[in-house]
Structure 1
Amino acid sequence: MTTSGSALARDLTAPVRGGRLAVTHWPGDGPPVVALHGITANSLAFAALADALPGVDLHAPDLRGRAGSAELPGPYGLGAHVDDTVALLDHLGLERAVLVGHSMGAFVAALAAARHPDRFPRVVLVDGGLGFPPPGGTDIDALLKAVIGPAMDRLSMTFASAEDYLAFFRAHPALGPHWGPHVAGYVTRDLTGRAPELRSSCVLDAVRADGADVLGDAETLAAVHQPGVRGELLWAERGLLDEPRALYDAGRVAAAALDPARMPARRIDGTNHYSVLFPPAVEEVAAAVRDALAGG
């Protein structure tokens, strides 16, 4: 068992294509929730959410190509994550679960609900899941670099010590001001290798394949608009580096013409792309999950 924040977590694995999926489980006697993390993240992104949802039975996998699931083979892509999520439910003996997805994980959640509405009747999409088709002829690699360039750059970096690695994240403009046990545990789970060449566990080919789906795959971009996908979209006020320009704004969300009865959307003020999952903003995410569990 590991401690992440105040919630006692345990590690388990589930059989999936090519091996076993690593999963962090915060046990509870309440209803099941599965949480899906972002493109260069890991399961401990949801440790604070687990704390905010006492009694909920929360499972968060390290998605294929990340952290404890880094050794799982390709092919990668969001469809592979959907298949892995269904396999996790089957392994747990669950007929259905609420899905929470952050960033890329929100796109996985929407796609899973579109393909399997009976298994995933409600979703909570956090700063992701709503995409905008790129103009014809767009270079997807260049677009991916523009959107998550700093996160991708980190994957090629090495660190002489764990202390240097933690110092790098303490200086991160979106994470540093919110530093605490939840953030430290989250970033540490991604660390692998041996000093003086410690590095991120994320597989670059997985990040590229998943990012291409988020930015340009027609089925992925259409998923949130499918009638079987029901839940709520929450977006952060600020961006990936705590900059004023966020991934979403009221105009872009309005232009997407989401059905407000099926997928209402709202901004969480005073947050950036990462801090939305950490205190105090995570309480609003938890409230949305409770609404989803209630079928509201």
Structure 2
Amino acid sequence: MTRTYRTLDVPVRGGDLRVGVWEDGTPGAPTVVAVHGVTASHLAWQLVAEALPGVRIVAPDLRGRGRSNELSGPAGMAAHADDLAAVFAHLDIPAGLVVGHSMGAFVSLAFAHRHPGLLARLLLVDGGLPLATPPGLSGDELVAAILGPTAERLSMRFPDVAAYLALWRAHPAFAADWTPELEEYLAYDLVPDGGGSLRPATSYRTTLEDTVDLNTGTAVTDALAALGHPTRFLTVPRGLQNEAPGLYSPEHAARLVATYPAVRHERWDDLNHYTVVMSEPGARGVAAVIREELSALG
């Protein structure tokens, strides 16, 4: 069957949430809801979707990102979780598997806590469990410590798409994993700035708000304390700049698993925080785990 891709808008508080859907018309195909990271968009899931024929992938642009960047009202884990609930209702999605990458994993945990009847299993990809950030940091310091240059680009302006792609071609995370799908994802990230240039769709303010909430708010810790869904947690050895040890060092991951023994942890090799979903090897691996989780659903 031919794989199709479309987008639709789902009404949520403050406006419309853009949602991407990949499907091929397979009768009875299961639906997986996929949630992207802090400065990403639904197109981060392209390669994973392509590796999953016979599975419908539903992936929103979280509020403040992509084509959901004009939504009014605050962000934060609870707001994103409630937006996901609206997507489930709008598309009549049965309870199943929710997959989150990076900040999307934290959103997925909050969703499981606030709307437990809407899902059955969780897959957290290099995110979701508390990060090892120093205590006492300001919001700006948290963003700098976790995201570094990823946040710096949000204030930059670009004359055209080619200039933005050139910035990313020099990025160490994608030195060996540049694809046409990545170019499409990056081009989609740009919106007019009102002055004749282009800017990333995600605002620094929204990134700051979400980063502070997932690190110092109670949404994530409350969700983990009440976790009642089978949860699988994948980590990789390198971070946003392809640096070791990444967001979760082996020592920190071991402490988390000891604290949350119901969470099943796996550490993969040879991938970084981006390429675990946005490279062909990473996408194939995530797709294989998704199929295992769907099989567990029966």
Give the superposition deviation at 1:196.
5.3
Whether the aligned pair in 1 keeps the contact of 2:23 and 2:56 (CA below 8 Å) is yes
1:294 corresponding residue in structure 2: 295
Alpha-carbon deviations, 1:144-187, whole Å to 9, x = none?
21111211111110112211111111111102421111211111
Whether the aligned pair in 1 keeps the contact of 2:132 and 2:252 (CA below 8 Å) is no
2:14 matched to 1:13? no
The one-letter amino acid paired with 1:162 is V
1:243 corresponding residue in structure 2: 243
Alpha-carbon deviations, 1:213-237, whole Å to 9, x = none?
1211123134234331322101111
Give the superposition deviation at 1:118.
1.7
1:282 corresponding residue in structure 2: 283
Give the superposition deviation at 1:94.
2.1
Whether the aligned pair in 2 keeps the contact of 1:175 and 1:183 (CA below 8 Å) is no
Alpha-carbon deviations, 1:59-92, whole Å to 9, x = none?
1100000111011112111111100000000001
Distance 2:208 2:281 in 1: 32
2:157 corresponding residue in structure 1: 158
Q: TM-score, normalised by structure 2?
A: 0.91
Q: How does 1:254-273 map to 2 (within 5 A)?
A: 254-256=254-256, 257=258, 259-260=260-261, 262-273=262-273
Query: Which secondary structure state, in structure 2, belongs to the residue aligned with residue 280 of structure 1?
Result: helix
Q: TM-score, normalised by structure 1?
A: 0.92
**Cα 1:13–1:150 shift into 2, 3 Å:** same
User: Structure 1 vs Structure 2: percent identity of aligned residues?
Assistant: 41
Distance 1:66 1:19 in 2: 13
Distance 1:163 1:196 in 2: 15
Distance 2:4 2:174 in 1: 23
**Cα 1:97–1:244 shift into 2, 3 Å:** same
Q: How does 1:1-296 map to 2 (within 5 A)?
A: 7-28=3-24, 29=26, 30-132=29-131, 137-193=136-192, 197-256=197-256, 257=258, 259-260=260-261, 262-277=262-277, 278-295=279-296
Distance 1:58 1:240 in 2: 25
The one-letter amino acid paired with 2:41 is N
Whether the aligned pair in 2 keeps the contact of 1:238 and 1:245 (CA below 8 Å) is yes
Which one has the bigger helix percentage? 2
Whether the aligned pair in 2 keeps the contact of 1:132 and 1:221 (CA below 8 Å) is no
Query: Which secondary structure state, in structure 2, belongs to the residue aligned with residue 14 of structure 1?
Result: strand
Whether the aligned pair in 1 keeps the contact of 2:13 and 2:73 (CA below 8 Å) is no
Unaligned residue ranges in structure 2 (runs of 5+): none
Distance 1:97 1:273 in 2: 25
Distance 2:287 2:225 in 1: 23
Distance 1:171 1:7 in 2: 32
Query: Which secondary structure state, in structure 2, belongs to the residue aligned with residue 242 of structure 1?
Result: coil
Give the superposition deviation at 1:295.
2.6
Give the superposition deviation at 1:55.
1.0
Distance 2:66 2:207 in 1: 13
* Aligned residues: CA RMSD: 1.9
Q: Please say which of residues 270-279 and 141-150 is displaced more in the overlay.
A: 141-150
Unaligned residue ranges in structure 1 (runs of 5+): 1-5
